[in-house]
């Protein structure tokens, strides 16, 4: 057994142990989906970052740095603004509302202030979550296949299947508590990897000065943050920065705030989260920028992190860096599987259909649904290996545009109405998808979260204002 495989086996053993340790929390819906709302600040902080970034960070964002150079640092600026706004504007109010109403899911929060006798808000939320999460998880399965292929020379399809088996298994066994504590392990590994790999790439290139010289010889635009080539500079910069906008509403992050032990833990978690995320993002882009100088002409820019890891480090460290990539993927997939499962079991079966079955039986249904959704994503991922960066962004913007404006309205607008929330969700989501499909190319690639959020906010507040006057 080679060194990389040995390291991988040890890592998976640690995850399995955490899953088994967490099993006692999985016999109720609150325990399986929120770890009983008992998590300390450091778990919430690392889980939020690890879940929010995924394989997109190490493969997609580093690949973007490789393709466009320093322009990718605009994404860093936008994401830091977005996560900070989410922590300071949303987290504490959302936690308070979820505790007051015994909410377990984001749709629980969305309907908490209304009498929605037809369950329309919950139904629309479930449909959006299931569709977007399936797309999102598929992108992560693609990342898994690329990681195994780059590090171990494994066939892409086999890599997707092997990686998914472990992810689905520990999520099934340990639920949200296992997911959160493995996120801490995974987040720490990601942090170390995103310090070590860019540093090694810069040193191997001869220093930052030599990186700059090499990029200048290849294309001076790689060193100019304002050298947007596919349209007006302001639109290009706005699109890159707007990647941080969905932090205000993606359900897989909102759940993290709800799972904290109390308000005091959230205050500490937000500082740690923003600081760690800054290191994550700068490190990932720098991997791509320095990697372009070191290995120009890669066929697939999204393999630059594995290429550097395999070529610049001894086998045992290379094995650890494979684990880092898998950590980024796993930390998002497990959370998304639970999110989709909760939408079906809690929101559809228990709330919409009115099931009176016991919490333990419903939690068991949730485990089965986790496996089913994971298998669907694997089948899609094997058949259609898309570009991770853009595939993830489409799902990210769809979720953020649907839920961000509605959550802001519920938390801050006293005259919010159920119809305003419903229209905001439908309008924000639809605008994001329609823009992506029909208008994005015509308007210089303007990121779909921008029109999605604008339409969502206008409808949430506008319809609420009109209907609250009756």
Give the phi and the psi of residue 452 in degrees, each rounded to 5: -60, -45
DSSP state string for 223-236? G-TT---SS-HHHH
In the chain the first and final C-alpha atoms are separated, in Å, by 72
What share of the chain in percent tops pLDDT 90? 47
pLDDT band at 176 (very low <50, low <70, confident <90, very high): low
Rounded to the nearest angstrom, the gap between the alpha carbon of residue 200 and the centroid of all alpha carbons in its chain is 27
76 by Cβ neighbours in 10 Å (0-12 / 13-18 / 19+) ranks as: buried
Taking only the tens place, the pLDDT of each residue in 190-199 is 899 999 999 9
Mapped onto helix, strand or coil, the DSSP state of residue 467 is helix
What is the C-alpha to C-alpha distance for residues 360 and 26, in angstroms, rounded to an integer?
8
**pLDDT of 386:** 54
Q: Angle, to 10 degrees, between the axis of helix 315-342 and the axis of helix 41-55?
A: 100
100 by Cβ neighbours in 10 Å (0-12 / 13-18 / 19+) ranks as: exposed
Six token digits for residue 361: 């039986």
Q: Which of 89-93, 117-121, 131-135, 232-236 has the highest mean pLDDT?
A: 89-93
- 382, pLDDT greater than 80: no
DSSP state string for 431-446? HHHHIIIIITGGGTT-
Rounded to the nearest angstrom, the gap between the alpha carbon of residue 407 and the centroid of all alpha carbons in its chain is 18
- 87, pLDDT greater than 90: yes
Six token digits for residue 84: 């900070």
Averaged over 199-224, what is the pLDDT? 93
Q: Produce one character per residue of 395-404: b if its CB has 16 or more CB atoms within 10 Å, e if not.
A: bbbbbbbbbb
- Higher-pLDDT residue of 10 and 407 is 407
Q: Which of 101-110, 127-136, 283-292 has the highest mean pLDDT?
A: 283-292
Rg of the Cα trace of the chain? 21
Averaged over 63-76, what is the pLDDT? 94
**pLDDT of 203:** 95
C-alpha distances out from residue 394 to 99, 326, 387, 389, 401, Å: 31, 22, 11, 9, 11
Question: Chain-wide mean pLDDT for the chain?
Answer: 86
pLDDT band at 390 (very low <50, low <70, confident <90, very high): low
Mapped onto helix, strand or coil, the DSSP state of residue 260 is strand
Averaged over 419-431, what is the pLDDT? 96
Six token digits for residue 24: 């006692």
CA nearest 390: which of 98, 196, 142, 182? 142
Six token digits for residue 92: 């504490």
Any idea which residue has 């399986």 for tokens? 32
Query: 437 Cβ partners below 8 Å, 6+ apart?
Result: none
- 385, pLDDT greater than 60: no
- Higher-pLDDT residue of 176 and 206 is 206
Taking only the tens place, the pLDDT of each residue in 27-65 is 667 777 777 788 899 999 988 888 877 767 888 899 999
DSSP state string for 181-201? HHHHHHHHHHHHHHHHHHHHH
Six token digits for residue 127: 């449909």
Mapped onto helix, strand or coil, the DSSP state of residue 404 is helix
**pLDDT of 470:** 58
Averaged over 373-391, what is the pLDDT? 69
**pLDDT of 365:** 81
What is the C-alpha to C-alpha distance for residues 244 and 83, in angstroms, rounded to an integer?
7
Taking only the tens place, the pLDDT of each residue in 265-323 is 999 999 999 999 999 999 999 999 999 999 998 888 888 998 998 899 888 888 788 77
pTM more than 0.85: yes
Taken in order of first residue, the domains within the chain and their CATH numbers are: 3-468 (1.20.1730.10)
pLDDT band at 23 (very low <50, low <70, confident <90, very high): low
Say how many C-beta atoms besides its own lie within 10 A of residue 414's C-beta. Answer: 6
pLDDT band at 331 (very low <50, low <70, confident <90, very high): low
Q: What are the counts of helices (DSSP H) followed by strands (DSSP E) for the chain?
A: 19, 0
Query: 302 Cβ partners below 8 Å, 6+ apart?
Result: 59, 60, 62, 63, 146, 387, 388, 389
**pLDDT of 170:** 64
What is the C-alpha to C-alpha distance for residues 324 and 330, in angstroms, rounded to an integer?
10
- 389, pLDDT greater than 60: no
**pLDDT of 158:** 82
What is the C-alpha to C-alpha distance for residues 441 and 172, in angstroms, rounded to an integer?
40
């Amino acid at each position: 057994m080679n060194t990389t495989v040995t390291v991988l086996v040890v890592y998976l053993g640690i995850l399995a142990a955490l899953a088994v340790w967490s099993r006692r929390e999985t016999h109720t819906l609150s325990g399986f989906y929120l770890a009983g709302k008992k998590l300390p600040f450091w778990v919430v902080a690392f889980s939020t970052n690890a879940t929010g970034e995924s394989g997109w960070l190490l493969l997609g964002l580093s690949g973007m740095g490789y393709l466009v150079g320093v322009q990718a640092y605009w994404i860093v600026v936008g994401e830091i603004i977005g996560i900070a706004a989410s922590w300071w504007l949303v987290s504490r109010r959302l936690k308070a509302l979820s505790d007051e109403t015994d909410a377990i899911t984001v749709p629980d929060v969305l309907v908490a202030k209304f009498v929605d006798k037809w369950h329309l808000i919950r139904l629309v939320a479930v449909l959006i979550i299931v569709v977007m999460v399936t797309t999102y998880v598929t992108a992560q399965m693609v990342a898994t296949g690329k990681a195994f292929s780059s590090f171990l020379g494994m066939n892409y399809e086999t890599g997707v299947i092997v990686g998914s088996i472990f992810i689905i298994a520990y999520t099934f066994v340990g639920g949200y508590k296992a997911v959160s504590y493995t996120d801490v392990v995974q987040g720490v590994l990601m942090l170390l990897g995103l310090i070590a790999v860019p540093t090694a790439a810069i040193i191997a290139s001869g220093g930052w000065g030599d990186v700059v010289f090499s990029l200048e010889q290849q294309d001076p635009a790689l060193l100019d943050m304002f050298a947007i080539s596919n349209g007006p500079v302001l639109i290009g910069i706005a699109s890159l920065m707007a990647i941080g906008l969905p932090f205000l509403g993606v359900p897989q992050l909102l759940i993290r705030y709800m799972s904290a032990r109390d308000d005091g833990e959230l205050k500490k978690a937000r500082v740690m989260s923003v600081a760690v995320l800054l290191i994550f993002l700068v490190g990932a882009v720098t991997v791509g920028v320095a990697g372009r100088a070191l290995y120009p002409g890669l066929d697939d820019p999204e393999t630059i992190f594995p290429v550097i890891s395999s070529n610049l480090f001894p086998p045992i460290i290379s094995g650890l860096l494979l684990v880092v990539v898998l950590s980024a993927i796993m930390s998002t997939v497990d959370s998304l599987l639970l999110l989709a499962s909760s939408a079906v079991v809690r929101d559809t079966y228990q709330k919409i259909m009115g099931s009176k079955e016991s919490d333990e039986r419903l939690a068991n249904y949730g485990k089965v649904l986790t496996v089913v959704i994971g298998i669907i994503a694997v089948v899609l991922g094997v058949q259609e290996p898309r570009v991770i960066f853009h595939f993830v962004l489409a799902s990210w913007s769809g979720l953020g545009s649907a839920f961000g404006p509605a959550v802001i309205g519920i938390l801050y607008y006293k005259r919010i109405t159920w119809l305003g929330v419903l229209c905001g969700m439908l309008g924000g989501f639809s605008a994001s998808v329609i823009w992506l499909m029909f208008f994005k190319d015509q308007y210089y690639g303007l990121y779909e979260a921008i029109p999605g959020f604008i339409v969502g906010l206008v409808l949430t507040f506008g319809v609420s204002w009109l209907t609250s006057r009756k």
